[in-house]
Amino acid sequence: MRVSVLDQSPIPAGSAGADALRNSIDLARMADDLGYHRYWVAEHHGTPMLACASPEALIGPTAAATSRIRVGSGGVMLPHYSPLKVAETFSMLSAIFPERIDLGVGRAPGTDPLTMFALQRDRRQTVADDFPQQLSELLAYIRDGLPAGHPFERLTQLPGLPHLPEPWLLGSSPQSGIWAAEFGLPYAFADFISPAGAGIVQRYRDAFQPSRTRASPYVVVAAWALCAETDDEARRLASSARMAFTLMHQGQLIPIPPVDTALRFFEERESATASITRRRRWILGSRDTVRRELEALAEEYQADEVMIVTITHDHAARRQSYELIAEALGVSQSLRAALR
């Protein structure tokens, strides 16, 4: 089983977004050295919690700072953009870093309605809900081509040819699985947003239509996980993210708080812990605990790959978590075996 990283570029309280972005590149270097398979960066707008508003701006420096690991978007929120612009951008990245660039796209806005409206070029009306048409056009540029006589036919001569990114569809709903199957795309399911999606993933497999770039279905399950030396320490470190997400669901966005602040928050609001635990699957604990739960998750989804997202206040704790998970799952040993 392959193991990968999804980085949301968390901003710790007391730090700036610039620090978070540098932390992302530092974490990518470590993931590359440890043997993780791919490193995806997310897209979020208008929040003091997460720094990466432009995956394509972070993918280039991340790929340049690493040597082996695949780098991509987790993902580009396609409704904000022209499919041609996205295709050209990732074509260029693929030319500079051949066989290493993934183009993961999603339908979610990655922000609130006001910020989504501010992102629009034309604000005379709300953006059209035409994601399937956008996705079809994007795939025509980077995979399938356009029929002869199509007005955009010549635009498939992208600047980075012959190199192209690998397209992916991201999702957390039944509809995303339907589209991934229909378009013959590998599918990354966000269990950390919508747990209990194994049925959605199975329907994707059952309905999968082979495409020019993929003959069979492929599933990544993206999970929230944090590993420490003990189960208690992992739960303690996770309190920072839990507080941030609890307040986010109440409409309050904050940077990732220190552990002591978060522990006091939950002491004063005992019901908040139960609420956020019900909303999300939290894989927390020592090496053995996290290995057991990640393997069970992969079995539940019959996943080809597990992608791990971790948020802590302390960057060193986030680094250590990925180091411990790599050790627990034998990531480095798998890399050495692949390179023999």
**Token pair recorded at residue 153:** 């036919």
Please state the pTM of the whole predicted model. Answer: 0.93
Domain assignment present for 152: yes
Report the largest interatomic distance among the alpha carbons of the chain, rounded to a whole angstrom.
Answer: 66
Residue type, 223: A
* 166-171 and 219-227 beta bridge pairing: unpaired
Pair 76, 103: CB distance under 8 Å: yes
**78-127: per-residue pLDDT in tens?**
998 999 999 999 999 999 999 999 999 999 876 777 787 788 777 777 77
Domain assignment present for 198: yes
Number of domains in the chain: 1
Domain assignment present for 247: no
Domain assignment present for 7: yes
The DSSP symbol for 149 reads T
Q: What span, in angstroms and rounded, lies between the C-alpha atoms of 283 and 290?
A: 6
A 10 A CB-CB count for 250 gives 10
Name the residue range of residue 17's domain: 2-224+286-339
Here the CATH number for the domain that contains residue 10 is 3.20.20.30
* Sequential pLDDT tens for the chain (340 residues): 899 999 999 999 999 999 999 999 999 999 999 999 999 999 999 999 999 999 999 999 999 999 999 999 999 999 989 999 999 999 999 999 999 999 999 998 767 777 877 887 777 777 778 899 999 999 999 998 888 888 888 888 999 999 999 999 999 999 999 999 999 999 999 999 999 899 999 999 999 999 999 999 999 999 999 999 999 999 999 999 999 999 998 889 999 999 999 999 999 887 766 666 667 899 999 999 999 999 999 999 999 999 999 999 999 999 999 999 999 999 977 666 665 5
Unique residue bearing structure tokens 């470590």: 30
Domain assignment present for 97: yes
Pair 164, 141: CB distance under 8 Å: no
Domain assignment present for 41: yes
Q: What span, in angstroms and rounded, lies between the C-alpha atoms of 204 and 220?
A: 12
Domain assignment present for 280: no
Domain assignment present for 331: yes
